[in-house]
Amino acid sequence: MRSLDGKTVMITGAARALGRSHALLFAEHGADLLLVDLCKERQGPYPLSTRRQLEETARECRRSGGTVVTAAADVREQKEVDEAVAAGLTEFGRIDVLVNNAGLLAPGGVLSHRLSEQEWELVIDVNLNGTWRCCRAVLPGMVERRAGAIVNTASTGGLIAYEMFSSYVASKHAVVGLTKALALEYGRHGVRVNAVCPSTVRAEEALGSRSTAAVAESVGTSLDDYEAGSASFHALRRLVTAEEVSRACLWLAGDQSSGVTGTAMVVDAGYTAR
């Protein structure tokens, strides 16, 4: 029996990058999936995901034999989040696991006083408020069943600070705090809430990664040079891979981690060991 057989998992930001990696691994381990992404034809600080990319992820996941439902939703809009959750409940009857993956790494690369209020609010609204909105949508069902697992995506930026990315650092520190608060509130209802904290994740063309390239551009360097420079600050002298982050999420989502809640699991190749 695979570790997620019989479980339904909702993943936000599932069209590409870490979200696609999570979806593929969870599908391999038997999960039925509700895959959610923005899927709107507009540009943010870097090109955002498309419906085509979300459906590509879904097709790859279906090859593992599970049922996959896709939904377009902006995590800044509670109504859209609620509608996505409703689509999952209609198909599956419940959501056992939520992986809050949707997030923005930019705009950044500038001193804090040079950020506009709109740029600041965009990152906070997606990374922090969006995480809370998705939790808010699934928690009633988890409380009713007295079972569930939530994995929030924080970052090493939720534990330490980076220059020139204050909005991102603030949002991810807050996600860690939200994770701990929810763990305390909902543990008595059988719901576990944890966070995963990756450092820079190596860009992979097959996953459609974009955010690391955007960071490299914002600091005036190439993707290759940025990744090489960043790797030198990691104890393993390399960046973590998307699959390594996905495996941490898989463990936190499954029964193997049944005694774990309120944690911020670091997957950073030793970056924060300094």
Cα(122)–Cα(230) distance, rounded to whole angstroms? Answer: 26
Q: What is the pLDDT at residue 1?
A: 67
What's the Rg (C-alpha) of the chain? 17
Class of the domain covering 8-273:
alpha beta
What is the mean pLDDT of the segment spanning 38-45? 72
CB-count exposure of residue 140 (10 Å: 0-12, 13-18, 19+): exposed
Q: What is the pLDDT of residue 115?
A: 94
pLDDT of residue 43: 56
8 A C-beta contact, residue 187 and residue 261? yes
The band of 44, judged by pLDDT with boundaries at 50, 70 and 90, is low
Beta bridge partners of 151: 99, 194
- For residue 99, list its beta bridge partners: 11, 151
Domain ranges of the chain: 8-273
| Percent of the chain surpassing pLDDT 90 | 82
Judge whether residue 210 has pLDDT over 80.
no
What pLDDT does 41 receive? 63
CA distance 230 to 227: 5
**pLDDT value at residue 155:** 98
Lowest mean pLDDT across 44-58, 66-80, 133-147, 165-179:
44-58
Establish whether 168 is a catalytic residue: yes
Q: Which of 106-115, 155-164, 205-214 has the highest mean pLDDT?
A: 155-164
Residues 1 and 195 sit within 8 Å (Cβ to Cβ): no
pLDDT of residue 48: 82
Active-site pick, 168, 186, 226, 271: 168
Give the pLDDT band of residue 109 (cuts 50, 70, 90): confident
Listing from the earlier edge strand, what are the strands of the sheet with 148-153?
68-72, 32-37, 8-12, 97-100, 148-153, 191-198, 264-267
Distance CA 60, CA 23 (A): 9
Instruction: Round to whole Å and give the CA distance between 68 and 62.
Output: 6
For residue range 217-248, what is the model confidence (pLDDT) as tens digits? 766 788 888 888 889 999 999 999 999 999 99
Mean pLDDT of 160-178: 96
Stated pTM of the model: 0.95
The mean pLDDT value for 170-197 works out to 98
